[in-house]
Structure 1
Amino acid sequence: MTKPLDIVFLGLSLSSSWGNGHATTFRGLLRALNTLGHRVTFLERDVPWYARHRDLRDPDFCRLRYYGTVDELCRKHKRVLQRADVVVVGSFVPEGRAIIDALASLCTGQFCFYDIDTPVTLARVAEDDCDYLARRQIPYFDVYFSFTGGPTLERLKFEFGARRAEPLYCSVDPEWHHRSGNAIEWDLGYLGTYSPDRQQTLEALLLEPARRLPDRRFVVAGSQYPHDIAWPDNVTRIEHLPPAEHAGFYSRQRYTLNVTRTSMIAAGWSPSVRLFEAAACGTPIISDRWPGLDSFFPTSAIQTAGSADDVTEILLAKSDRARLRMARQAHSLVLARHTGTARAREFTSALTQSRQIRPVLDLGVESAA
């Protein structure tokens, strides 16, 4: 893009990272867009559960505004939305279907969707059980940006009718994520909100190794874990870790564990932001296995594991020299390809390529979902 853009995002939450991995992704992308000279506004539904846990109330890289209802959004922020060069609606936005219908008629610039949950979204859309996106709405968007790449992009176009599907993976901000200088406290750690479909893998790849290695130290950080989980004595629990503390957390681990949701494993090409954060901090990574992982990290830059035996062997057998050599390679890869600046440039490049006369759309009101 040769001129600064006015870009409006509507996402799950920018202000709160509590149980909300979207916040980290949006913050990195928006900060980079601002650095590149674009003007960014983020519109967020004002809901009590995020209001109670806001850790970014006044960002210096965008305007953050709130709304209460779809009607208030269109009335209070009408001029901002109409003047924008680009409006991007994110996945899991409350009342997303109604918002998309309203904005498709209101917006005069490019209209895009940013799906940070693509496999989940497509499964729900296929069953007509998605409250933030309808199948009929997918062709509305000039670009459907997807957190998942690989074959899913072809599905979006040929099965769901997306006019243009582009990967827009998560990213990392090197100014926030770097080696902190903290001493190593834990042999293996994990950062992530509780998810039932990740828990079995966390049990196999961290809790069971902790039981087998009582003299080693482990840590799990994240909110919403059930109270009945039997944590081994050598596993430290941190209930919530705000983004500002992530670098220090990773820097205190000999290894960090990446665990992927079942739907993301099935789709492949769905890297977690935690992979990039840990690599930027110079922390060696042990990941579960999924298609496409090697397109982000070659085998020389990451360890993979499918069982407690695998993890135990890595923790006991890998030398510090080999461990740090692996981490240095991952660090170099991430800084070269997966920063917020790299993503912001990919985002604006896709907008340039997709600029076209928008087709006349069928914006009829759908039946109640």
Structure 2
Amino acid sequence: MKIAFYGSSLLSSYWNGAATYYRGMVGELARLGYRTTFFEPDAYGRQQHRDIEPPDWADVVVYPATIEAARDAMARAAEADVVVKASGVGVFDDELLEGVMRAARPDAVKIFWDVDAPATLAEMGAAPDHPLRRILPALDLVFTYGGGPPVIAAYEGFGAKRCVPIYNALDPATHHPVPGEERLRADLSFLGNRLPDREARVEEFFLRAAALQPERRFLIGGNGWHDKPMPSNVRDVGHVYTRDHNGFNTSPLAVLNIARDSMASTGFSPATRVFEAAGAGACLITDAWVGLDLFLDENTEVLVARDGQDVADHVAALTPDRARAIGEAARARIVRDHTYARRAVEADAIIRAEAAAKRARIVA
């Protein structure tokens, strides 16, 4: 089957945390017989900071960030058996949603794929005339990359026919153990872009922990932190390309995951960083959120912190041997249960069943 997928970027992770997820899902769906054309705008400097060139398992159309070019891209939805509009494209999101679903053939499976469901649901709750609220009942499926029962209930409450979480996962070919790098050595490292609904939690869980452990080395990566006041034992390395993720994760004693406000409050929303770090065999410390035990077991596969003091205490108590044991246990669990190959099989079964049902309705 042919998929027309409208997202932020497959080629670049620059200001685009969903890149790993898109690559994992689209790549594994290709193994199951799908051919995806991924439409992404030339925006936010992403094309100038590519992590990969167009892969052989997808066709990538990069269009200028103009409404005319976006309309040309929308029209191509008519070529596909499955039409996907992802959240957070960042350019003409509302127009894309309405345009691609209008262009889709009657027999095409129409999907909204939400990579930030808590934020999207908050927007819809605050705006009765939100474009997604209007079009949701006409879509066949909503996929989300997290959220669990709260997100499913909320989407169905807004009129979605069916909402299914297709969680983040690991691509073992991309994220795996490598030798550590001296330039990335630290006692604790954190990777994430500076965003309004994350910054306060970074201050508490990372920067406060650094202040409580002045003799330890802390490393922060991601866009936007260059002018953020930080303790003197914190080093900012800026944007970290996908090719450097493994070294970033294997070089420190431990890696910290910090959920954004909305994802922490909703729960059941493991970030891509969780699977990337675990896949590399890193010792992961994460802030607490409901549903974590579906993915990793506390104390044996992950360390959990309720605040910055907990993070500081974990770092102080960690030995290289214990960190290694936790990282190895996490990697074994994730490789066994949480790969994109498994997620693609889930999505494939749902898509094919919906496609068959639509064909039967049309024939009838």
The two structures share one fold, judged by TM-score above 0.5: yes
Unpaired segments ≥5 residues, structure 1 = 361-369
Q: Residues of 2 paired with 1:316 and 1:62: CA distance?
A: 45
Counterpart of 2:35 in structure 1 is: 39
> Percent identity between the aligned chains?
32
Counterpart of 2:273 in structure 1 is: 274
Unpaired segments ≥5 residues, structure 2 = none
Between stretches 283-292 and 205-214, larger displacement belongs to: 205-214
Counterpart of 1:363 in structure 2 is: none
- SS across alignment from 2:45: helix
Superposed displacement of residue 129, structure 1 = 8.3
- SS across alignment from 2:84: strand
The question of whether the paired residues in 2 share the 8 Å contact of 1:142 and 1:358 is answered with no
RMSD: 2.3
The question of whether the paired residues in 1 share the 8 Å contact of 2:3 and 2:37 is answered with yes
Counterpart of 2:99 in structure 1 is: 102
Is the aligned partner of 1:287 residue 2:281? no
Superposed displacement of residue 107, structure 1 = 1.1
- SS across alignment from 1:98: helix
Would you say how many aligned residue pairs link Structure 1 and Structure 2? 352
Between stretches 328-337 and 69-78, larger displacement belongs to: 69-78
Counterpart of 1:366 in structure 2 is: none
Question: What TM-score does the superposition give when structure 1 sets the normalisation length?
Answer: 0.88
1:205 alignment partner AA: F
Counterpart of 1:257 in structure 2 is: 256
2:127 alignment partner AA: D
Counterpart of 2:2 in structure 1 is: 6
Against the structure 1 CA distance between its residues 129 and 54, is the aligned structure 2 distance closer, same or farther, given a 3 Å change threshold? farther
Counterpart of 2:246 in structure 1 is: 247
**What are the residue-to-residue correspondences of 1:290-301 with 2, within 5 Å?**
290-299=289-298, 300-301=300-301
Deviations 1:156-208 (A, max 9, x none): 11x11100100011222111111111257211000000023322222222222
The question of whether the paired residues in 2 share the 8 Å contact of 1:9 and 1:88 is answered with yes
The question of whether the paired residues in 1 share the 8 Å contact of 2:226 and 2:238 is answered with no
Against the structure 1 CA distance between its residues 302 and 43, is the aligned structure 2 distance closer, same or farther, given a 3 Å change threshold? same
Superposed displacement of residue 234, structure 1 = 2.0
Q: Residues of 1 paired with 2:271 and 2:44: CA distance?
A: 27
**What are the residue-to-residue correspondences of 1:311-330 with 2, within 5 Å?**
311-330=311-330
2:34 alignment partner AA: H
Q: Residues of 1 paired with 2:101 and 2:39: CA distance?
A: 16
Is the aligned partner of 1:199 residue 2:195? no
Superposed displacement of residue 152, structure 1 = 1.2
- SS across alignment from 2:187: strand
Against the structure 1 CA distance between its residues 327 and 130, is the aligned structure 2 distance closer, same or farther, given a 3 Å change threshold? farther
Q: Residues of 2 paired with 1:310 and 1:46: CA distance?
A: 42
The question of whether the paired residues in 2 share the 8 Å contact of 1:286 and 1:305 is answered with yes
Question: What TM-score does the superposition give when structure 2 sets the normalisation length?
Answer: 0.90
Counterpart of 2:120 in structure 1 is: 121
Runs of 4+ in 1 over 4 A off after TM superposition: none
* Pick aligned residue for 1:22 from 18, 21, 25: 18
Q: Residues of 2 paired with 1:242 and 1:140: CA distance?
A: 38
